[in-house]
Structure 1
Amino acid sequence: MDIQFTLDGRRVGAILNDTPAARDFAALLPLTLDLQDFHGTERVADLSRKLETSGAPEPVAARVGDIAYYAPWGNLAVFYRNGPAPSADLLILGHLDIDADQLGSATHITIEAAS
């Protein structure tokens, strides 16, 4: 599924994976969230509810531009640096078409279905 991120006023295209968690995330759209830095690797924001995590694919390490969901905390993460080792708690939902410099400074996002 194609979606659209607006990061601090800049529009950026993204694609969600075809997984139960990504489809559940898409059901929350449109969203407007404030981002905070986490460990100098990702920008994170709390979601209004936890996502469906059954049927999750095998864990992989997050890479720059990945949109992910951290199940234990119920938050959205957008990576501007490559993430840690794969974890079953971190589900990759999709990927943003953006470089690390643009993403690392973002503080406010709007996410909606692509038109």
Structure 2
Amino acid sequence: MRLRFIFADEDFTATLEDNPTARDLVSMLPLELKIADYSTNEKITYLPRKLTEQGSGRFDNEAVGDLCYYAPWGNLAMFHGPYRWSGGLIRLGRLDQGAKPLLVRGEHPLRVEIFP
């Protein structure tokens, strides 16, 4: 399954992993949210409710372009810079075109929907 993200002048997709947390996110779509910069390597957006943590567990091969859910805060994290796994982080998928769209700075309205 793929998701479409639209904010500022950016329109990009992500391919989801097949895990319970990713499926729970899909069940909420479409969503109108706000996306903002966090730290120096990611953008985040808060969901209207927390997702299931059944897809949790340590993962490796962290990569720029990963789409994750951070369970303790209930937010999506999209990484445009290197990062390391930490407890509570669940990988949902990866951005299909890389992380370049995430380099637009600032806070913006964000639409998340299923990509046909």
Q: When the two structures are superposed, what TM-score results if normalisation uses the length of structure 1? A: 0.86
C-alpha displacement of 1:50 = 0.5
Identity across matched positions, percent: 37
Partner of residue 37, structure 1: 37
Structure 2: gaps (5+ residues): none
Aligned residues: 114
Distance in 2, matches of 1:22 and 1:70, equals 12
Offset at 1:86? 1.8
Cα distance in 1 for partners of 2:76, 2:104 equals 16
State yes or no: 1:102 paired with 2:101: yes
Q: Secondary structure at the match of 1:18?
A: coil
What is the aligned partner in structure 2 of residue 80 from structure 1? Answer: 80
Report deviation, 1:35.
1.2
Considering only aligned residues, what root-mean-square deviation do their CA atoms show, in Å? 1.8
Q: Which amino acid aligns with 1:111?
A: V
TM-score w.r.t. length of structure 2: 0.86
Gaps of 5+ in 1: none
**2:75, 2:66 → 1: CA distance?**
14
